[in-house]
Amino acid sequence: MRVLGIETTCDETAVSVVESNRDGEGHILSNEILSQIKAHQAYGGVVPEIAARAHVEVVDVLVKQALKTAGMRLTDMDGIAAAAGPGLIGGVMVGLTTGKALALVTGKPFLAVNHLEAHALSPRLSDGVAFPFLLLLASGGHSQLLFVRGVGDYVRIGTTIDDAIGEAFDKVAKMLGLPYPGGPEVEKLAREGNPEYFAFPRPMLGRKEPNFSLSGLKTAVRIEAQRIAPLTEMDIKNLCASFQAAIVAVVADRTKIALDVVRADFGEPTALVIAGGVAANLAMRDSLHDVAHQSGLALIAPPIALCTDNGAMIAWAGIERLRLGLTDGLDTPPRARWPLEAKGTVHA
């Protein structure tokens, strides 16, 4: 089974061809990605109109390149998948319309993929993780702890009540004058700083509900930065290190509580999984590896290339859905918001 996947929900245009063999193992035949970082750097963040225009200019080129790299023709595909949301609506429309057009002209099944579901299922592509597993889905716009029971079957165990994890990284980077994208910059500078230099709060630590709250931590960084201004290079490194240490401690604690909830209410998960852009953060991975080890579980984190937005995860989610006959009509609308738990349940 082969599926072409198209991803245009934010500032990366990505197209991939993924193949699933008879045993259900996935193989990435091509994974073309064109980043728009340079186009948005001057603005310190993603400009939706610029992003949508850039997707329009290159998506057809990337489709051709992905097929060429895979050594396939469009007619060799068993389905066409495209991210239908959530994301910047202009960008979503570009990829979704392209996917619909390709499905229409080839007569292939169309698969409208939830971008979050693609992240959630990506560890099954990279590592063949069996259901059910506990997932920390962490990115610039989303921070959720989900019990993944199957394709389209998700129980939300915890979420953020304000900022997402990646959003907190990006906002701290911006207030410290670091270049876009900010999250990787904070991580890089944190390696050269003292994580104990500033005593930042650990919001929600120890609470029995596995939710996150990060706006207070972000505010604490801003207040401390203003107090010691003007900032030296070492000040910025220490602020980054202390901030990252605090957020990593919070994530570890919240994940431990989520594991307790899952075991008490649903049974034993097969693994602890982290996915989404923040999964590329090595300090976060190391901390969650310790959490998983202490709980007798393996930590599964997809390769860095599959953590950030990519077409392979869209294609794989398409394969997972196509196996179950979950195809979509060409009238499927683009969605700026599309909560993943709408496909499952929210744990009380």
Structure confidence by residue, pLDDT tens digits, 28-53: 999 999 988 788 877 777 888 899 99
Q: Is domain 131-302 classified as CATH 3.40.50.10320? A: no
* Topology match between the domains 2-122+306-346 and 131-302: yes
Indicate the DSSP class of residue 119.
H
CA dihedral (298, 303, 309, 315) positive or negative: negative
Residue-level pLDDT at 24: 87
pLDDT at position 40: 82
pLDDT at 347: 60
Radius of gyration of the chain from its Cα atoms, rounded to whole angstroms? 20
pLDDT of 22: 87
For residue 48, the tally of other CB atoms under 10 A from its CB is 14
Q: Which helix (H) or strand (E) holds 51?
A: helix 48-70
Q: Which residue has the tokens 């630590």?
A: 205
Instruction: With residue 19 as reference, give the H or E element that holds it.
Output: strand 12-20
Amino acid identity of 159?
Answer: T
Alpha carbon 10 to its chain's center: 11
Q: How much is the mean pLDDT over the chain?
A: 94
- Could you give the CA distance from residue 14 to residue 309 in angstroms, rounded to a whole number? 8
What would the pLDDT profile of 61-109 be if each residue is shown by its tens digit? 999 999 999 999 999 999 999 999 999 999 999 999 999 999 999 999 9
Q: Which two tokens stand for residue 112?
A: 């409208």
Kindly indicate the confidence band of residue 180, based on its pLDDT and cuts at 50, 70 and 90. confident
- Lookup: tokens for 223: 């207040």
pLDDT confidence of residue 140? 77
pLDDT band at 346 (very low <50, low <70, confident <90, very high): low
Give the pLDDT confidence of 250-300 residue by residue, as tens digits. Answer: 999 999 999 999 999 999 999 999 999 899 999 999 999 999 999 999 999
β-partners of residue 150 are: 153
pLDDT of residue 38: 81
251-276: buried (b, 16+ CB within 10 Å) or exposed (e) per residue?
bbbbbbbbbebbeeeeeebebbbbbb
What is the spatial distance between Cα 313 and Cα 63, in angstroms, rounded to a whole number? Answer: 15
| Residue 186 one-letter amino acid | V
CA torsion, ordered 264, 265, 266, 272, to nearest 10 deg: -60
CB atoms within 10 A of CB 105: 11
pLDDT computed for residue 345 by the predictor? 55
Distance CA 316, CA 297 (A): 25
Q: What class does CATH assign to 2-122+306-346?
A: alpha beta
Predicted pLDDT at 119: 94
As a whole number of angstroms, the distance between CA 5 and CA 267 comes to 34
Q: How is the chain split into domains, by residue range?
A: 2-122+306-346, 131-302
Identify each DSSP E strand in 62-185 by its residue range: 79-85, 110-114, 133-138, 143-150, 153-159
Model pTM above 0.85? yes
Query: Which residue, among 33, 64, 40, 37, has the nearest Cα to 304 in the 3D structure?
Result: 33
